[in-house]
Chain A
Amino acid sequence: MANIENKNSLAWVGTSSAMCTDISIGGLNDKLQITYIGSQNGASVPSSDPFSAGLGLSYQNLECGVSGLVYSLQVPYEIGNVIEADYKVDNGRIGVNYPMQVVLKGGEGEGTYKITSQFKNNKPVYKNGEWWLWWDGASSWVISTPDLNKDGKFYVNNKPAPNNGPYNSDPQNFVDPNDCIAVSGFDGDVGTANGSYCPITIVNEKTAYKHSTNEWYIFWHPEVPLAEGGTVARWVLTNSPYNLMGEYITNGSGEKPGKFEGLPCSAGFVDKVGVVEGTIPDGSLATEDGSEAVALLVEDTNAVITVEK
């Protein structure tokens, strides 16, 4: 648990030090005076306080991954997994949940889409000149121009991550690089960990990935504790970024995640096995070698690679 130490502050909900759960504003009666969080279109800064939140007149929770202004009645008090910022102190870096930019190549609307201060359908909005990249709230990321809607030109990727292409322009727009990976093989309660994972940030100097449902993460942990004592560096698949406080399973120490199995793991992953496969990069030529599907990965400079899919 963390303390709110100052009566007025900017604060971020969620650190890597503990599992993050949303904080009920109504439960902070006599502590929290009022809080302000930016709206998704950036046109306002809605407020909430314990009384109005209790009545359902304003937002109910300080949600994980959200930040805002916090005005308190009396300090200090414990609030949960929150970190207060101080402009005189470096309090760390954000392990972001979405890529800060997406590069598309090959089709209309290609270019570098940079994250903006605007949000739509609970996800960030990106901009590349007169083109926008945004989540349609249902099933796909969309690049569109001239506006943030489908009234003008638009193309979709029909995928839950913005950096998982291709987008269906003609010719197609490919994501550069498309480093999404796929996990399969888990069953039972942790079967939801199967599926597509795309890069979002760098944690402990290696790429971290997020599941398409936002429920699972894969990241590099340099010090996973062993039952017999000591620690080991491992890839970790978990539902609690970026720690070992939720359900988790580990695998090898290679440059990329491999096969998740065995110990160390949490109780929910005992005897479970998950296999990581690289996704066929956009633009690869899929073919058949007689028994298994094959993808020809054609390098544009000096190498041609063939991989069994």
Chain B
Amino acid sequence: MALITTLYTIGWFGVSGEECTPFNLREQFGTYVIQDGQKVYSGPYSEGTPEWDAVNSLRIASFSQGKGFIWSLEKEFYAFGRDGTTPDRASVSFDQIECGRMYMITNPKILEFEIPNFVPSAQDVDMGRVLV
């Protein structure tokens, strides 16, 4: 497990010898649902708090076949059809961190949170080898 404590983190999800299960971003940080015809935040943070502000600024990026994709609460906010109330998640490329993939996390307000099995990396630090 890794504690994310920094503005930028680049790393690999999945440590050899440890059980690896996907890290669900919607459960961890929240999403948007329709309640009484209104789009409202649903998640573990309270809107308007510093922690919610921090979650709202969080960006998690990954790549596939040369294209970059991002998860954020903003993506969750817009995961609805043209009427604004019918769920349509086509615009959300991914909403969980999965084993054997790499991610870049941008955390402008330094929300401290834990991702089990995430291996962070940095310049001049040998953090290990991918077992293939």
- Decide: B122 and A38 in contact? CB cutoff 8 A: yes
The dominant DSSP class at the B interface is: strand
Cβ-neighbour of B104 out of A39, A69, A101 (below 8 A): A69
- Decide: A123 and B12 in contact? CB cutoff 8 A: no
- Decide: A242 and B125 in contact? CB cutoff 8 A: no
Chain A proximity mask over B115-127: 1 for CB below 8 Å, otherwise 0: 0000111111111
B18 at the interface (CB under 8 A from A): yes
B117 to chain A, nearest CB (A): 8
Q: Which of B30-54 contact A (CB under 8 A)?
A: none
Cβ-neighbour of A94 out of B6, B15, B123 (below 8 A): B15
- Decide: B103 and A10 in contact? CB cutoff 8 A: yes
Q: Which of A1-46 contact B (CB under 8 A)?
A: 6-12, 14-17, 20, 36-46
A230 at the interface (CB under 8 A from B): no
Known contacts A10-B104, A12-B102, A114-B2; A202 and B64 CB within 8 A of each other:
no
B82 at the interface (CB under 8 A from A): no
- Decide: B10 and A201 in contact? CB cutoff 8 A: no
B100 at the interface (CB under 8 A from A): yes
- Decide: A114 and B128 in contact? CB cutoff 8 A: no
A223 to B103 Cα, complex, angstroms: 33
Known contacts A38-B10, A93-B15, A203-B17; A117 and B3 CB within 8 A of each other:
yes
Chain B proximity mask over A59-94: 1 for CB below 8 Å, otherwise 0: 100011111110000010000000101111111111
For the A-B complex, the count of residue pairs with Cβ-Cβ distances under 8 Å equals 234
B48 to chain A, nearest CB (A): 27
B87 at the interface (CB under 8 A from A): no
Size class of the contact patch on chain B: 35 or more
A251 to chain B, nearest CB (A): 21
- Decide: A92 and B130 in contact? CB cutoff 8 A: yes
- Decide: B126 and A65 in contact? CB cutoff 8 A: yes
Size class of the contact patch on chain A: 35 or more
A232 at the interface (CB under 8 A from B): no
Q: For residue A200, which residue of chain B has the nearest CB? A: B128
Q: Give chain A residues whose Cβ lies under 8 Å from the Cβ of B57.
A: none
Known contacts A38-B121, A41-B6; A9 and B129 CB within 8 A of each other:
no
Most chain A beta carbons < 10 A, residue from B6, B17, B66, B122: B122
- Decide: A20 and B129 in contact? CB cutoff 8 A: yes
A66 to chain B, nearest CB (A): 6
Q: Give chain A residues whose Cβ lies under 8 Å from the Cβ of B103.
A: 10, 87
A67 to B120 Cα, complex, angstroms: 9
- Decide: A65 and B127 in contact? CB cutoff 8 A: yes
- Decide: B127 and A100 in contact? CB cutoff 8 A: no
A214 at the interface (CB under 8 A from B): yes
Q: Give chain B residues whose Cβ lies under 8 Å from the Cβ of A85.
A: 12, 62-63, 100-102
A116 at the interface (CB under 8 A from B): yes
A234 at the interface (CB under 8 A from B): no
- Decide: A67 and B102 in contact? CB cutoff 8 A: yes
Q: Give chain A residues whose Cβ lies under 8 Å from the Cβ of B8.
A: 38-39, 42-45
A42 to B122 Cα, complex, angstroms: 8
Known contacts A85-B102, A90-B99; A66 and B129 CB within 8 A of each other:
no
- Decide: B102 and A118 in contact? CB cutoff 8 A: no
Cβ-neighbour of B125 out of A36, A95, A124 (below 8 A): A124
Cβ-neighbour of A117 out of B5, B63, B64, B131 (below 8 A): B5
A96 to B118 Cα, complex, angstroms: 11
B108 to chain A, nearest CB (A): 11
Q: Give chain B residues whose Cβ lies under 8 Å from the Cβ of A180.
A: none
A35 to chain B, nearest CB (A): 11
Residues of A in contact with B (beta carbons under 8 Å apart): 6-12, 14-17, 20, 36-46, 59, 63-69, 75, 83, 85-98, 100-101, 114-119, 122-124, 127, 200-203, 205, 214, 241-242
Query: Assuming A98-B128, A242-B129, what are 5 further A-B pairs, CB within 8 angstroms?
Result: A38-B10, A44-B8, A46-B123, A65-B121, A96-B16
Sorted nearest first, the 8 A-B pairs with minimum C-beta distance are A202-B17, A42-B6, A65-B126, A90-B100, A85-B102, A6-B66, A87-B62, A10-B102
